[in-house]
Structure 1
Amino acid sequence: MAFKIMEIVRKGKSTKLLTEEHLNAMKEHDVPQWYIDSCMKIKYMFPKAHAAAYMISALRLGWYKVHKPIEFYAAYFTVRNDNFDGATLLKGRDAVRNKIKSIEEKGFEASAKDKAEVPMLQIMNEMLARGIEVLPVDIYKSEAKKFVIEDGRIRLPFCSLTGVGESAAFSLAEAAKKGEYLCIEDVITRAKVSKAVIETLKECGAFGDLPETAQMSLF
């Protein structure tokens, strides 16, 4: 009955659907008269409640964006990393802005994928404009999907690179926990990732000075 009363009240139908039985039950269970009176005055609550909930969320996000910017962007990118282009971000703000411009110049010829990239590129540009720096993908320090704060900067995860899927990202993160690699061939063996993924990691310098193979050359 309590649930039914709640549903009637939130839909703004108290004056029509609340019966004497409902009112007496509330009084018997020590519901204050002011509360019962309020139930009879409440109108349909969903739109206002929905708006209030969104406003509270917006205020919280706004507070973190202003006062804890590094934490904000790290969390934002971790949760919403679709269309994230880590390679472009690492090249700096000019590269990010140029990519936005090139997509916009395509006009109606821009693909759905291109258009989906723009909002993320705009957030990247905003972050860089605020002086927040990022660290490149590192085979030992990067997580699979989580953007980690490291020395006041944000370390990019494996999945931030176009071409490194979720499965490969988790494989790389797990393999790194087992100790140092002997060479890039060792990464392929332990992480079981494709050569295409390895090439992407090479291009962004994720391997550092790790040799291609463990075999020693005699000449």
Structure 2
Amino acid sequence: YQEQVMQIFQHLAGYSLGQADLVRRAMAKKHLDELMAQKDKFIYGDIEKGGNITGCVSKGIPAEVAAKIFADMESFASYAFNKSHAAAYAVVAYRTAYLKYFYPKEFLAGILNDRLDKIEEISKYIAYMKERGIAVLQPDINRSRTIFAVEGDGLRIGLGALRGIGIEAIEAVINERNEHGQFADFADFAVRCAKYINKRIVESLIYAGAFDCFNHPRAVFAAVYEDVLSRVTAMDKQKSGAQISLFGNIIEEEKITIDYPDIPEYDQTEKLSLEKSVLGVYVSGHPFEKFAPYFKDKTFNCSMMQYEEDEDTGERKYTEIASGQSATMGGMISAYKKLQTKSGLFMAFVTVEDLYGTVECVCFPKVYDKIKSFLAEDRVVTLSGKIDISDEKPPVIIVDRMNEFTPTEEKSPSAANSVSGNNGGNNTAGGAGGGTGNAVQGGAYAEEKDDSEKTLWLNITGLDERDLGELTDTLAFYQGNTSVIFVDKIKRAKYMCSQKVSISRALYA
């Protein structure tokens, strides 16, 4: 313990208690330069320099022995604690291990409530819970509390976790529910809570799925909520003004009824996108979920970005990754930013998301030139590169290769044919001929070749000049690095197209 180091400096080298404590502090803060500045004083003292430290040699300890003792303390400094600190950490470790094992849901609820403002960590814990069969229950206006809470076999997301919603407004809604019972429907909620909330809050609750319990699509609530709130506000003004009818009676409050329009729900992608916009994470599903099984053999995912942080220095130590480590991963582009380098070339910072979180991927000009044709949000990609970890920023991946990913089952028959061989045979006029040389078998996908190594063969038999011109113009919209060869069976000729393309579902369509 650090206290023992203090005793060694006191009893062997003649340090005062205050001087020994300064050594302890240097050790606690991991200031090795300050610790090493004490080496000569520890061995030989500083009496000759006007100090009061006698040193080990003056007490009959050989210099080489004193140097060995100091070296042992030097290596020990990287993980030394004072005794009370170590004891406290041990108690906390045992208690948290006990809670995690015997009360996993309550334990996770506590962790999540401590990280309400750290969305990237919440997404990792949500993925963790799903993997271990702990249900993640979406916000519910009749069930959610302000914070995460255990409910049955899962955890219910609290309404206070929604972005941009004041805790006071949410607590007022929950108090209303607790005092007067659950809300019967959306109209009942609006009448009882309009005085606590505004349109923005209601919109966030809709997108988060808090009104799904009323058995109408979110798109329907989004279409009617503004009108409903306006009617409730007008009704409240009417009531407070005690307006009198032509017949001398006070106009009494009427019950709000809603004529719900018959419109379809948002498509799944938009629904999840809106959900994430207010929760910061995907809850009812994840757009990458159906792709995840294809990437089980990759060496990196965002769950590996866990770190331990030194509470004194704030230094982060990553336990599963290291700077310079090779990484392969699959994910979905959630954002990207293009910028121009000093040399005039373009590069991009691409945020790639998987089930566990996001990682920034740096694409320098050579890589950017190859990926710019498919660089778009929600595009699924596979990539490889090197992990780079700096002191002040989260880890990034320096990309050396990135390809658009399309599972076989989503390809059209013509697309499937286009990657099955290297000649243009057995295709109708104008169809995509044999393709890139990437064999596709058993629902797997292939990425053996870079785009620049692929060739797209197109059967142009029977096309006139106008049709051929339209085809060439279409190819120009999909610029990339894959060569295109036209095949005319009648003329028994092959022509190299001047336009190179990027292979994608849109091109095949």
Distance 1:168 1:74 in 2: 22
Whether 1:209 aligns to 2:218 is no
Distance 1:60 1:194, change over 3 A: same
Measured after TM superposition, the shift of residue 186 of structure 1 is: 4.5
TM-score, length basis structure 2 = 0.25
CA distance in 1 between counterparts of 2:94 and 2:210 reads 38
Cα–Cα, structure 1 residues 215 and 124, in superposed 2: closer, same or farther, change >3 Å? closer
Aligned counterpart, 2:97: 62
Q: CA deviation at 1:61?
A: 0.9
Aligned to 2:171: 170
Structure 1 residues 36-185: aligned runs within 5 Å: 47-83=82-118, 117-145=119-147, 147-177=148-178, 178-181=180-183, 183-184=185-186
- Count the aligned residue pairs: 143
Alpha-carbon offset, residue 150 of structure 1: 1.6
Q: CA deviation at 1:79?
A: 3.4
Whichever residue aligns with residue 144 of structure 2, its letter is S
- Give 2:413's aligned residue: none
Residues 150 and 156, structure 2, Cα contact 8 Å, conserved in 1: yes
C-alpha separation in 1, matches of 2:176 and 2:183: 9
Task: Indicate conservation of the 8 Å contact 1:137/1:156, yes or no.
Answer: yes
1:172 shift after superposition? 1.7
Q: Are the equivalent residues in 2 in contact too, given 1:144–1:172 (CA < 8 A)?
A: no
Q: 1:71 & 1:200 partners in 2: Cα distance?
A: 27
**Which secondary structure state, in structure 1, belongs to the residue aligned with residue 150 of structure 2?**
strand
Runs of 4+ with deviation above 4 angstroms: 210-213
Q: Can you list the C-alpha shifts for 1:67-104, whole angstroms capped at 9, x where unaligned?
A: 32112112222333223xxxxxxxxxxxxxxxxxxxxx
Shift of 1:193: 0.9
Query: What SS does the aligned partner of 2:141 have?
Result: coil
Identify the structure with the greater strand proportion: 2
Residue 201 of structure 1: how far off its partner (Å): 0.8
- Asked whether the 8 Å contact 2:187–2:258 carries over to 1, the reply is no
Higher helix content, 1 or 2: 1
SS at match of 2:204: helix
Return the offset for 1:205: 2.2
Other structure's SS at 2:82 match: helix
Post-superposition Cα deviations, 1:90-147, rounded to whole Å, max 9, x if no partner, equal xxxxxxxxxxxxxxxxxxxxxxxxxxx33333233222222211112111211122x2
Structure 2: how far apart are the matches of 1:141 and 1:150?
9
Give the structure 1 partner of residue 69 of structure 2.
none
| 1:209 counterpart letter in structure 2 | F
Deviation at 1:174, TM superposition (A): 0.9
In structure 2, how many angstroms separate the alpha carbons of the residues matched to 1:150 and 1:215? 32
Amino acid paired to 2:172: S
Higher-Rg structure is 2
Q: Percent identity?
A: 29
Q: Secondary structure at the match of 2:155?
A: strand
What does residue 278 of structure 2 align with? Answer: none
8 Å CA contact 1:133–1:153 kept in 2: the answer is: yes
CA drift at 1:149: 1.6
Aligned with 2:128: secondary structure?
Answer: helix
Unaligned 5+ segments in structure 1 are 1-10, 18-45, 84-116
Q: Equivalents in 2 of 1:155, 1:119: separation in Å?
A: 17
Shift of 1:196: 0.8
Aligned-residue offset at 1:183: 4.8
Distance across 2 between alignment mates of 1:143 and 1:54: 32
Shift of 1:199: 0.6
Q: What SS does structure 1 have at the residue aligned with 2:214?
A: coil
User: Could you say if the C-alpha distance between residues 209 and 120 of structure 1 is closer, same or farther in structure 2, counting changes exceeding 3 Å?
Assistant: closer
Describe the shift of the 1:139–1:216 C-alpha distance in structure 2 as closer, same or farther (beyond 3 A).
closer
CA contact (8 A) 1:144 1:170 kept: yes
Moved more, 181-190 or 66-75: 181-190
Name the counterpart of 2:199: 195
Q: 1:182–1:131: structure 2 CA closer, same or farther, 3 Å change rule? A: closer
Classify 1:216/1:168 alpha carbon distance in 2 versus 1 (closer, same or farther; 3 Å): closer
Q: Is contact 1:188-1:194 (8 Å) kept?
A: no
Describe the shift of the 1:128–1:195 C-alpha distance in structure 2 as closer, same or farther (beyond 3 A): same
Q: 1:189 to 1:163 in 2, by over 3 A?
A: farther
Q: For residues 118 and 190 of structure 1, do their structure 2 counterparts lie closer, same or farther at Cα, with a shift above 3 Å needed? A: same
Indicate how the Cα distance of structure 1 residues 82 and 215 shifts in structure 2: closer, same or farther if over 3 A, else same: same
Runs (5+) with no aligned partner, structure 2: 1-5, 11-15, 18-80, 216-220, 229-255, 260-509
Specify which structure has the bigger relative contact order, considering alpha-carbon pairs within 8 angstroms and separated by 6 or more residues: 1
Classify 1:66/1:216 alpha carbon distance in 2 versus 1 (closer, same or farther; 3 Å): closer
Measured at CA, do residues 120 and 151 of structure 1 come closer, stay the same or move farther in structure 2, by a change above 3 Å?
Answer: closer
